[in-house]
Structure 1
Amino acid sequence: MRLLPSAATVEALTPRTRDRSLDLVRLASLLVVISGHGLMLLVTVGPGTVSFGNLLTGSATLQALTWILQVLPLFFFAGAASSAMSWRPGNAWGAWLMRRAQRLYRPVFYYLAAWAVALFLLRDVMAPNVNERIAAISTQLLWFIGVYIVVLAFVPALAAMQHGWQVATVVLGLYCGAAAVDAIRLGGGPESLGYLNLLVWLIPAALGIGYVRGLISRFTAGIVAMTSVAANVLLVLAGPYEVSLVTVDGQRLSNMTPPSLLLAGHAIALSCLFILASPWCGRFARRPRVWRIVALGNGGAMTLYLWHMPALLTIAYISHLLGFDRSDPAQPGFAVLVVVQLGALYSLTAALFLALSPLEDRKLPWWDDAIGLRHSAVVGAAVVTAGIATLLAAKWGFVGTGVWCTLISLAALATARVAGRPPRGLDSWPGTPPERPLVGTSTAG
């Protein structure tokens, strides 16, 4: 019996109008993220303690490579582009956003439940300090979910753009806003002000919508990309910005947490480079065997994103038991150990994908019921609140304040679900279908 559908079956189920380049870049970016985490992780184990390090910290070369490997803007680009295609003027904003949240949070519920059980069981197996350290990083990946929900809340407004100059105005306004926030921070202003720059993630979203609406020519995209890269080079050479687009120890101004002007420029450059390359990406994705991998991978994208971290921690733990901790780039056989662990990470993540990705399509009682069109603003506000709480929970992990933030997020989602329950006989937005089309949409799209 075939475990996965054939290339011919996937091809037959794909709408002819689908922009396959968006699916290709989303999956490729996800694989880069998984590989990056697998490459960067350093683990130091002591008596009753464990600490996690970052290979980037001591390598200027790897930090420079983040200008190529920091691909998170493309997630927001592709996600906003796909989401804008489902928005129609006159739709109820809150109901539309809630329907996106239904798909997005469904695999998150399973993920949180699994971690809650695992951390409870590990209390009797691992030292308290080790258990707490693992709990602290267990939900860090959820920051993306929180920010993505907030970005989705802006998609209907961004979808109103009908001209290229409107896209340029939005992007330039956000870029200048990031510059102003950084200037205040560098001038001695409150560090917390930097989190206003989370709005930087609206830049790739706006460009994604401009792309899918055909508002940005490839020539313009190429010019803007080159200009943005040049501006970033000047910021690093002349300003306080550091090369790494991933947060590392010792940075005066993180480019990622919170986002900086440098990341804003990178988001512009990367998004425009994709627009420039999109025809080639589309042709490559139309190859049947390639499209089969891309379509199936996108169908379980959230599973890949969430569960590669438990897989990575499992590989690190098994390596420790075997006496092969990866803690210092100068240790003998470090490169070989990295390659072996990456191979193990890919294998375990693939196994988890096959086992758990069907849960992304499994309709949850009550949560996936139809959504009422009344109280739309209340529903939308509750979903946004859940997104912000999810972002804060990721900062602390599944411990202390992070647990409370997780509970607030779940309570906000429950509030949205209750407020969005349609009275009998009144108009409603259908709930998520019991089974997602094989290649119709991705969870993150």
Structure 2
Amino acid sequence: MRNRYLDLLRFLAIIRVVVYHVTGYAVLTLVFPAMSVMFALAGSLMAASLDRSGVRAVGRRLRRLLPSLWVVAAVFVPAMLLTGLPFTSRVLLWLFPVADPPANHWGALALSVIWYLRDYLWFVLASPVALWLFRRAPVLTLAAPYALLAAIEFGLRPGAPLVLREFGLYFGAWMLGFAHHDGLLRRLASRVLVPVVLLVGGAGGAWILTHRGVRGYDLNDIDLGNALWSTAFILVMLGRAPAAAAWVDRNALFSRAVTAVNRRALTIYLWHMPFVIALTPLVDVVGMSRTDPVGLAIRVLLVFALVGVVTLLVGWVEDVAARRRPELVPGGRAGRAPAAAPTSPAPAGPVAPVLVGARPPAQRNAEAAVVGHLSGR
């Protein structure tokens, strides 16, 4: 059976991401570091897939990841080519984004979330070796990404490629997913877990307070603080995760919403940002303040409504990619049947053109201006 607690966390993470991109509220990144949580959940499920299928799990995971991206590319790449994007061989990165695919001026904003798929792809490719190393030296392997990020932050690795920075920032969360799957986190005694959470979370909080970014205390601008704070959060949320969350299914409507968002998480993630960008000018047209709570609430509802329409139109691609029977709205009777996909944790026992998604410092300043523009700051 699927782990409904993990489904609930992913549901909350997706909702939080959309609301943050509409409102620009930095506090949301502190209250719920959604991207790190999503990587941790993905790492846990990747470990389950590797245990079940071996290295073949890499191909299966990519098969589930890429088709939804190709649908987005089929719509937006021709539009960008018609509005100034040069046609070069780098356009092929929209098929397999091991690096940031190119975009024109508006596409770089509307499709900025592609960085998540780029990182996800690299983490999937690295997982067979990483899981092998983790199970032989868990502490050292888990510490490696944080050490890499610290070396970059303290200038010991100047000019580090973006992919190395992203491994340092998020691969630790991915491997915490490994630890969750293997049961290491739930077996961690409170006398160990609590001090570690306080130490790591305290260090992350101190770094955040002393390294305010261009958007204030927004974790997206404070990499080392982000990694440490998110680690403490994940240790709590997964280290003391319930064995089951049957209460999620007590209300049929809520249960179906959780299921639907999980089954359409990639579609929602990929399509929400274009609507965030498209709706922003309308705020001025109707005369609403960009910081007005009512105006922000209306924008959030409109974005979810538009994403819902697109999800009805193309969300079934996720079903086809996962080799499930396509459904218009997931979570019906068939949708609530036990899933054949691997679950986590394991049962008790042994265990030039603008680059979309690139976030180097110079581009982060530009992104900060965009989010500031969206949120009226």
Q: By the TM > 0.5 criterion, same fold?
A: yes
- What CA distance in whole angstroms lies between the structure 2 residues aligned with 1:356 and 1:262? 37
Unaligned runs of 5+ in 2: 85-102, 323-353, 360-377
- What CA distance in whole angstroms lies between the structure 1 residues aligned with 2:76 and 2:141? 39
In the alignment, residue 68 of structure 2 is paired with which amino acid? P
Quote the residue 1:21 is aligned against: 5
- What CA distance in whole angstroms lies between the structure 2 residues aligned with 1:294 and 1:277? 21
Quote the residue 1:166 is aligned against: 137
**SS of the counterpart of 2:357?**
helix
Tell me by how many angstroms 1:108 deviates: 0.4
Q: Does 1:149 align with 2:121?
A: yes
1:138 to 110, 120, 136: 110
User: 1:360–1:65: structure 2 CA closer, same or farther, 3 Å change rule?
Assistant: closer
2:274 to 310, 313, 316: 310
User: 1:38–1:283: structure 2 CA closer, same or farther, 3 Å change rule?
Assistant: same
Matches for 1:285-300 after TM superposition, within 5 Å:
285-287=248-250, 289=252, 290-300=254-264
In the alignment, residue 268 of structure 1 is paired with which amino acid? T
Q: Does 1:76 align with 2:47?
A: no
User: 1:39–1:149: structure 2 CA closer, same or farther, 3 Å change rule?
Assistant: same
Q: Does 1:198 align with 2:182?
A: no
Q: Does 1:342 align with 2:300?
A: yes
Q: Residue deviations 1:272-317, cap 9 Å, x none?
A: 0212442187244343523322222111111110111122233224
Asked if the contact 1:84/1:209 (under 8 Å) is kept, the reply is: yes
- What CA distance in whole angstroms lies between the structure 2 residues aligned with 1:318 and 1:149? 35
In the alignment, residue 72 of structure 1 is paired with which amino acid? M
Tell me by how many angstroms 1:132 deviates: 4.9
Q: Does 1:229 align with 2:201?
A: yes
Q: Does 1:267 align with 2:267?
A: no
**SS of the counterpart of 1:87?**
helix
2:61 to 92, 100, 112: 100
Tell me by how many angstroms 1:324 deviates: 3.2
Asked if the contact 1:182/1:194 (under 8 Å) is kept, the reply is: no
User: 1:174–1:232: structure 2 CA closer, same or farther, 3 Å change rule?
Assistant: same
Quote the residue 1:111 is aligned against: 72
User: 1:282–1:147: structure 2 CA closer, same or farther, 3 Å change rule?
Assistant: same
In the alignment, residue 160 of structure 1 is paired with which amino acid? W
Quote the residue 1:443 is aligned against: none
Asked if the contact 1:167/1:207 (under 8 Å) is kept, the reply is: no
Between structure 1 and structure 2, the one with the greater Rg is 1
Asked if the contact 1:181/1:193 (under 8 Å) is kept, the reply is: no
- What CA distance in whole angstroms lies between the structure 1 residues aligned with 2:34 and 2:155? 27
Q: Percent identity?
A: 20
- What CA distance in whole angstroms lies between the structure 2 residues aligned with 1:255 and 1:336? 26
- What CA distance in whole angstroms lies between the structure 1 residues aligned with 2:27 and 2:257? 30
User: 1:148–1:209: structure 2 CA closer, same or farther, 3 Å change rule?
Assistant: same
- What CA distance in whole angstroms lies between the structure 2 residues aligned with 1:30 and 1:363? 20
User: 1:345–1:173: structure 2 CA closer, same or farther, 3 Å change rule?
Assistant: same
User: 1:227–1:339: structure 2 CA closer, same or farther, 3 Å change rule?
Assistant: same
- What CA distance in whole angstroms lies between the structure 2 residues aligned with 1:278 and 1:121? 49
Tell me by how many angstroms 1:135 deviates: 2.1
**SS of the counterpart of 1:278?**
coil
1:37 to 16, 21, 26: 21
Asked if the contact 1:181/1:194 (under 8 Å) is kept, the reply is: no
Quote the residue 1:362 is aligned against: 320
Asked if the contact 2:152/2:158 (under 8 Å) is kept, the reply is: no
User: 1:337–1:119: structure 2 CA closer, same or farther, 3 Å change rule?
Assistant: same
Q: Residue deviations 1:133-191, cap 9 Å, x none?
A: 3222132111000001111122223333676x933322223222222221116xxx734
User: 1:24–1:317: structure 2 CA closer, same or farther, 3 Å change rule?
Assistant: same
- What CA distance in whole angstroms lies between the structure 2 residues aligned with 1:351 and 1:276? 37
- What CA distance in whole angstroms lies between the structure 2 residues aligned with 1:35 and 1:228? 27
Q: Residue deviations 1:182-228, cap 9 Å, x none?
A: 1116xxx7344575221121111111111111112352444322221
User: 1:326–1:101: structure 2 CA closer, same or farther, 3 Å change rule?
Assistant: farther
The count of aligned residue pairs is 305
Asked if the contact 2:200/2:228 (under 8 Å) is kept, the reply is: yes
Quote the residue 1:44 is aligned against: none
Matches for 1:321-332 after TM superposition, within 5 Å:
322-324=285-287, 326=289, 329=291
User: 1:19–1:122: structure 2 CA closer, same or farther, 3 Å change rule?
Assistant: same
User: 1:357–1:29: structure 2 CA closer, same or farther, 3 Å change rule?
Assistant: same
User: 1:363–1:193: structure 2 CA closer, same or farther, 3 Å change rule?
Assistant: closer
- What CA distance in whole angstroms lies between the structure 2 residues aligned with 1:72 and 1:214? 22
State the superposition RMSD in angstroms: 3.3
**SS of the counterpart of 1:184?**
coil
